[in-house]
Chains A and B, each alone.
Chain A
Amino acid sequence: MNLKNNLFLGCSLFVILSITAQKRMHKKQDLILICLDTLFVAGSSINLEFEGNTVIKYQMYCANSYGSTLIKPQLQGNRISFQVPNHLSNKSGVLNWSVVGTKEKLFGTLNIVPRESPSSIETYIGPPSIEAGGIDYSMLVIIPTDNLDNPLKQNTVVSIQQQFLASERSNLVFTKNLIAFKYIYSPLKSGRILLSSETVGLNSKEYDVNIMPGIATNFTIYSQRNHTYADGNQITTFTSSIIKDKNNNTISDGNFVYFFITNKIGALLKTSGTTIAGVATAKIIHPDYEEDWSIKAYVLGMAESNTLKVKYKKIVENFKVTFLKNNRKITVGPIKSFMDQLMPDGLQVKISIYKNKKFLNEIIKSSREGFVSFELSQSIYKNGNYDFRISTAKVHKLFQTTALW
């Protein structure tokens, strides 16, 4: 209101001072602008007043940042005025006008500046989560606007508050090119930074940036098992130490850890697990024959573990084989385990059949209650002499020239 009054006063002063001067200056002009103010605050009422020939029907072309329109004149005696519509004078930026209908071109520009006090702070923050360690960063962009949705003028102070663990900081930034912004660098620890901004007494709400742990660093692994026998039945569990990033933050849950196992003959076995609270756990069944395993774990592309050696003791030294029913039924067993107990079900037994040194067939069966039996059918294996090789748990037995009849 105050502003309006001032404006009116200013304009009236101008009127008094300039009417006489202008009349002489622009004799040819059919209209003379009375108020020469060109700086307005957004939202103020702008009335462009002219003096001169009011018989002619003038119009005013008027354009702001968003669009243009025509304004109808209002007549008062020998004065003619154009009232800029609110929705044009509400927006900051250049507003240009031009009177249509004059002989000489009559035009001008007004500068509309945003209001001083903000009514909203638009805040954009991203990325929402960054990696601890001081290298990664997020960005806070702030657009303080007045109540007519105009970005505040250049060099408006915006203070940015930042809290992380025990530290609380406040920084000042200035708006430039409609916005203010600040880089938020990650601290060494993982956690959550809380942010807020304030400009000319207006506070934003609370924003946060998650600080995620960095990538894994090297770690150690351990194994755990019930016994050391290669029984093909018990399970060995591998666990990692608590995997940390380089700043000693426990890495995020769900990191995939692969355990690669190299056995005696150089073949690779693999098992895997994901981390929970930094620890990855993976399991694998015991081998069913004597083994020397070396195990190394990896978080692929990031970190690796030490090499762990694990030995499995032999449990089957020998087994009994009996031939029945014209040697056509071959029974293997009882196969005994480390305490002479019958072998748990599922041990593989293989019989290879040869005739005249020529390989004929191979039959594989799993043990059941310590025994496995093979039946050789007459229709497949004609009467004659055969060689048999029976093997289980890497123990082999050979039976040469055994007659089937």
Chain B
Amino acid sequence: MVNTNKIIFKSILLLSYLLIIAALLFLISSLYGYFNTGADRSKILHTKIKKTDQYLPKVTWLVDGNLGREMNAQTLSEIESNYLDAWYIKNIAFSTNSKIGVDAYYTESARKNIFNIIQTNKKEKITIERTTLSHNPNIFLFSEDGQLVVLEDKNVVEYKRIFKDNKFILEITEIANYKVILLLEDGFWRIRHLVKESLSEFDKKPKASPPASNIIKGINYYPQATPWNMFGSDFDINIILKDFNLIKTANLNTIRVFVPYKDFGKSKVSEHKLNKLRQVLDAAEKNDLKVIITLFDFYGNYEVLDWTLNHRHVEVIVSAFKNHNAILAWDVKNEPNLDFKSRGRRNVISWLEQIIFLIKSIDKNHAVTIGWSNISSANILKDKVDFVSFHYYEDKAFFEERYTALKKIIQDKPLVLGEFGISSYRGFWKPFGSSEEKQANYYKEMQAVFAKNKIPFISWTLYDFNKIPKEVVGELPWRRNAQEHYGFINKNGKKKKSFKYISKN
């Protein structure tokens, strides 16, 4: 007995000794670690330049030579960078009525002109949100000593939104031609003179390019394993090919996919992601499926100063695929009307409008639409889109009636039901919820309405999913669980009863 106690006592002592030593070692090592961080020698010289893209209007230099000194690429890029910064800083100055930063990009005499206006605006409580969308500069003269540049900036597209006492007054888009003198001062190209030479109104009527196919029988598509993350690291084109084949044999002809804005690299679209999207489009083409690409998924900042960044994103994606045979249409954004409350209705609508215009200026052949989340929003911007698409998750009983009502309002544009569906979930969180039978019945009845009224449809969705990101439906388990069961095929890969009604025959 004494012996066992002794052994226990000894081992406790030994253990505690080991523990204390371990703790001490840990403390000393973390102290050592602390004193050895932050002294990275590579940081002494500030060699790393941190530059984030803030303002990227489309700049097209007219390179036709100039008087004076020969222009080189390096100087031109410095001039461009400073000149755009001058516009950017001016945009900020007018939206905040503050003078910060203006002196870096305007010479002493030039900045007065801006300060005078800002001063009045501040007094009158006028704020102006503004941005420029494109510049077409052309250097006339580069002085022999490299200190002065005279340039003309043609067709500067300026968007302005004017508020007084925080109340919206008007928005305006103008096209102006400027002549500019820039001086190289303290290493900055500063604006010395800025003269608006002419001005015209921006023609906001986009050209119509109606959808090539009016009989859309489609489905919203995510691979089963990677919902809302289709182009991530688990991207597998073989699964997608197999799914497309399944969709085609189910007598569908269209899919709707989503391009996440941030995931694709925001203003600098990643070539890698673009390549994945290309594979998806090729796979669709192989299976004779048309694709509606929904842009700006998970994007929520509609601020005017973010527009130029959005533009560069759209520009790359749309130009890359505008000639792809699989493209049916561009959906600007999924359910933007849900952001009306948090981001302001006007912000969202003017944002949509200019993105539509941009897409149409790049791709003149494919239709553009907006995936409104409900019927009541569907008539917003109806004159700008090529077909109106809306989503319907309400009671199927009212669908036909509401559709006919909408059809009466929008007579000249095709209507497409971009999303609809019902969950088959019944379980702990929804004991009296739906069922596979109910789901099948829903689709059966909906398809009957579609057949009767010749309604193009895109259902939600092919698969039941295992994991839904919280950005989509939030954390609430009854919503998440319901969302997991919208598919025609269940989690085990078996077709549900509704599969029979996935398309009209």
Residues in chain A within 8 A of chain B (CB atoms)? 59, 61, 63-70, 72, 85, 87-88, 91-94, 96, 98, 100, 109, 124-128, 137-139, 141, 143, 149-151, 177-179, 181, 183
Stretch at the interface among B41-49, B70-78, B117-125, B221-229: B117-125
CB of B248 closer than 8 Å to a CB of A: no
CB of B170 closer than 8 Å to a CB of A: yes
- B50 → chain A closest CB, angstroms: 30
Q: Does A68 contact B117, Cβ atoms closer than 8 Å? A: yes
- B36 → chain A closest CB, angstroms: 49
18 CB contacts below 8 A, A to B, read: A59-B164, A59-B169, A61-B162, A63-B174, A65-B178, A67-B128, A87-B116, A87-B120, A92-B195, A124-B183, A125-B145, A126-B146, A127-B145, A139-B68, A139-B143, A141-B143, A141-B148, A143-B192
9 closest Cβ pairs, A-B complex:
A126-B145, A139-B144, A87-B116, A67-B117, A66-B113, A65-B196, A93-B196, A93-B195, A94-B196
Residues of A within 8 A of B148 (CB): 124, 141
Contact partner of B181 (CB less than 8 A), chosen from A96, A138, A178, A183, is: A178
Q: Does B150 contact A94, Cβ atoms closer than 8 Å? A: no
Instruction: Encode contact with A along B121-143: 1 for CB under 8 Å, 0 otherwise.
Output: 10010101010000000001101
Contact partner of A177 (CB less than 8 A), chosen from B110, B117, B150, B174, is: B150
Residues of A within 8 A of B145 (CB): 124-128, 138-139
CB of B311 closer than 8 Å to a CB of A: no
CB of B384 closer than 8 Å to a CB of A: no
Residues of A within 8 A of B143 (CB): 124, 126, 139, 141, 181
Q: Does B114 contact A67, Cβ atoms closer than 8 Å? A: yes
Q: A99's closest neighbor in chain B, by CB?
A: B170
Q: Does B196 contact A126, Cβ atoms closer than 8 Å? A: no
Known A87-B117, A126-B147, A139-B144: A177·B199 in contact at CB below 8 Å: no
Q: Does A151 contact B199, Cβ atoms closer than 8 Å? A: no
Q: A96's closest neighbor in chain B, by CB?
A: B199
- B455 → chain A closest CB, angstroms: 38
Residues of A within 8 A of B194 (CB): 65-66
Interface residues on B, range: 35 or more
Residues of B within 8 A of A177 (CB): 140-141, 150, 152, 179
Residues of B within 8 A of A59 (CB): 164, 169
CB of B412 closer than 8 Å to a CB of A: no
State the CA gap A204–B198 with chains docked (Å): 31
State the CA gap A293–B164 with chains docked (Å): 90
CB of B342 closer than 8 Å to a CB of A: no
Residues in chain B within 8 A of chain A (CB atoms)? 67-68, 90, 94, 109-110, 112-114, 116-118, 120-121, 124, 126, 128, 130, 140-141, 143-148, 150, 152, 160, 162, 164, 169-170, 172, 174, 176, 178-179, 181, 183, 192-199
Known A66-B114, A91-B113, A94-B198: A143·B121 in contact at CB below 8 Å: no
Residues of A within 8 A of B141 (CB): 141, 177, 179, 181
State the CA gap A88–B113 with chains docked (Å): 8
Residues of B within 8 A of A94 (CB): 176, 196-199
Q: B119's closest neighbor in chain A, by CB?
A: A87
Residues of B within 8 A of A127 (CB): 144-145
State the CA gap A141–B150 with chains docked (Å): 10
Contact partner of B172 (CB less than 8 A), chosen from A61, A67, A125, A141, is: A61
Residues of B within 8 A of A85 (CB): 120
State the CA gap A141–B147 with chains docked (Å): 10
Q: Does B169 contact A61, Cβ atoms closer than 8 Å? A: yes
Q: B124's closest neighbor in chain A, by CB?
A: A70
Known A100-B170, A124-B143: A88·B199 in contact at CB below 8 Å: no
- A74 → chain B closest CB, angstroms: 15
Q: Does A151 contact B193, Cβ atoms closer than 8 Å? A: yes
Q: Does A87 contact B113, Cβ atoms closer than 8 Å? A: yes
Residues of B within 8 A of A139 (CB): 68, 143-145
